[in-house]
């Protein structure tokens, strides 16, 4: 057990160091190396945060979905801890995505917010998972809270395909994807210097996300251990 924990700590430290290096590189590429956009000017640099943060949030809610399904199937506490941890961090990244989008929208669209389909569905995603966190903290019976949370986590994840497809299904102010397009490869649509900045920032966000997730997961595990020790008096 001790050996596993030490191994986990070492792994976390390596991911943390890699995340720090890639964050610094991402800041260099996003703020200095990448050229300004021909139409959006310098404000386009916000996209080097906006796209990686929403993709990280999608990944996080996918982990909530997987953890919730596994928990409902096998009833193992570890899966619930994973889903709960991923939901907390996913809410943070979704909230930041909405803020970044709003700051980018003001100089580009002329408004901080508009009730566009993609923006509204992203706000709904944020509210669903804020609700998830509230539900988990309000239900006193933990096993019931875990089951309710798992059901809400699965339902909440179903909003993500809607967000992705919203720009195709409805007439929206939000532009269609530049990277995840079915008809074009990313480098056919985005200048290589911008694609490098975006990729470096994406790697930085993913590494930092996994660092935070492993730390939050460890917190959940330790809380469970503390509860068990309190219940059985360390025997």
Partner 1 sequence: MGSWEYVFLAYGIVWFALLLYFFLLKRRVRKVEVELSSLRSSGDYQKNA
What does the DSSP assignment read for 68-87? Answer: HHHHHHH--HHHHHHHHHHH
Contact window for partner 1 (CB under 8 A) among 37-45, 60-68, 124-132, 140-148: 37-45
Three-state SS annotation for 207-220 = HHHHHHHHHHHHHH
Binding mask 84-103 for partner 1 (x = CB under 8 A): -----x--x--xx--xx--x
CB-based contact 62:157 (threshold 8 Å): yes
**Residue 226 binding partner 1, by CB under 8 A:** yes
Under the criterion CB under 8 A, does residue 204 sit at the interface with partner 1?
A: no
d(CA 161, CA 154): 13
82 binds partner 1 (CB under 8 A): no
- C-beta of 2 vs 188, nearer to partner 1: 2
In the chain, alpha helices (H): 2-28, 47-74, 77-109, 117-138, 142-157, 159-169, 186-189, 192-232
Query: Which residues of the chain form contacts with partner 1 (CB under 8 A)?
Result: 27, 30-31, 36, 41-43, 45-46, 49-50, 53, 89, 92, 95-96, 99-100, 103-104, 106-107, 208, 212, 215-216, 218-219, 222-223, 225-226, 229-230, 233-235
């Amino acid at each position: 057990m001790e050996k596993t924990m030490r191994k986990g700590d070492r792994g976390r430290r390596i991911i943390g160091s890699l995340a720090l290096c890639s964050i610094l590189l991402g800041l260099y590429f996003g703020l200095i190396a990448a050229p300004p956009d021909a139409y959006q000017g310098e404000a386009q640099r916000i996209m080097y945060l906006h796209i990686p943060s929403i993709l990280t949030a999608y990944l996080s809610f996918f982990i909530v979905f997987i953890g919730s399904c596994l928990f409902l199937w096998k009833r193992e506490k570890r899966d619930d801890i994973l889903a709960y941890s991923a939901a907390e961090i996913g809410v943070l990244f979704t909230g930041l995505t909405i803020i970044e989008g709003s700051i980018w929208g003001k100089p580009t669209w002329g408004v901080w917010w508009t009730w566009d389909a993609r923006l509204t569905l992203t706000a709904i995603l944020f509210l669903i998972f804020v609700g998830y966190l509230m539900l988990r903290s309000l239900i006193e019976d933990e096993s019931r809270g875990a089951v309710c949370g798992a059901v809400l986590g699965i339902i909440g994840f179903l909003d993500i395909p809607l967000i992705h497809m919203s720009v195709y299904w409805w007439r929206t102010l939000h532009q269609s994807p530049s990277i995840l397009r079915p008809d074009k490869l990313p480098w056919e649509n985005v200048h290589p210097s911008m694609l490098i900045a975006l990729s470096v920032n994406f790697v930085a966000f993913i590494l930092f996300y996994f660092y935070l997730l492993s730390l939050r997961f460890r917190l959940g595990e330790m809380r469970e251990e503390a509860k068990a020790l309190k219940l059985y008096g360390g025997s």
